[in-house]
Structure 1
Amino acid sequence: MSASPGAYRAPGAGLRALQLLGIVWTLPNTLVGCVLGVAGLAAGAHMHLRVRDLAIVFHRWPWGPGGALTLGNVILHTGDTLDSACMTYAHRAGHGEEAPIVLADHERAHVYQYMVLGPLFLPLYLLCGGVSVRNRFERAADRYACEGRSWWPW
């Protein structure tokens, strides 16, 4: 029996060491996220740590078009909970009918991508099309949220 995409399994010692390296590698991105998140606190946002997602989450972040933005190990979220359903990029673009996904699972995939690519993530993300259904990072995050596997964009 396979676990659902949102199922949490405690990592072993080897994976924890790799996660720690990834957290350090993407620290410049995380610091930018923290600065933006703390600015949102003054406008009513609130924060908490989501161990399962390896992220500090700022909920009710007051700026942007809605949804969530991941910067390193920080998730800026305009809503109340990441455990809400959302549509995939392909579904929203009219590329077919797809079941809703859990936003937390999608954003967790971006956290993993940042932890591998570190400071290279943002330039590569922008080169792949930015916030778009064409972006391989977004397609991989949707795939991970749907299937619980393959968060890597290549």
Structure 2
Amino acid sequence: MVAGIAWASPWTLLGLLAGLAGMPAGARPRFSVRDRALVFVRWPWGPGGAMTLGNVVLATGHDLEATCLTYEHRAGRCSHPQVRLGDHERAHVYQYMLLGPLFVPVYFLCGGISVRNPFERAADHYAIHGRGWWPWTPRSLV
């Protein structure tokens, strides 16, 4: 766990700077043991929801308890129950801890913010089932 946090630290530092930049506009930091991250709530920029950078989550809402639709559900591919936003973002925290500084380039090579991205589908899977946050884990194992 400590090695993963250290490996993700370049992105965590960027997330921390972004979170601090949002504080004059109302963002407030909270450490979430559950989500393994420093969470800046009421972060003032973005379309809504949350974004993870290393072990920092920038959330536009009041907390990570909000529910949201999965990427596949929004794309009309299937019908999923709504998921806890924090559970989805925690999957990204784990993905950052494994890939470290490589996460963002690999994420965008895999399709960016879209249903095509296996990182987003894995984060949704994790939010639904509580396991399977790695995109290439055989589904028979999760």
Task: Give the shorter-chain TM-score range.
Answer: over 0.9
Q: Partner amino acid for 2:93?
A: V
Q: Does 1:115 align with 2:97?
A: yes
Match of 1:72 in 2: 54
Gaps of 5+ in 2: 137-142
> Distance between the aligned counterparts of 2:106 and 2:69, measured in 1?
24
Within a 5 Å distance, the mapping from 1:128-139 to structure 2 comes to 128-139=110-121
Q: Partner amino acid for 2:7?
A: W
Match of 1:25 in 2: 7
Deviation by residue 1:85-132 (Cα, 9 ceiling, x = unmatched): 110000111112111011110000000000000000000000000000
Between the two proteins, the alignment pairs up a number of residues equal to 136
Q: CA deviation at 1:138?
A: 0.2
Calculate the TM-score normalised by the size of structure 2: 0.94
> Distance between the aligned counterparts of 1:96 and 1:22, measured in 2?
33
> Runs (4+) of structure 1 moved beyond 6 Å?
none
Match of 1:6 in 2: none
Within a 5 Å distance, the mapping from 1:11-90 to structure 2 comes to 19-90=1-72
> Distance between the aligned counterparts of 2:24 and 2:18, measured in 1?
11
Calculate the TM-score normalised by the size of structure 1: 0.87
Q: Does 1:102 align with 2:84?
A: yes
The percent of aligned pairs where both chains have the same amino acid is: 62
Gaps of 5+ in 1: 1-18
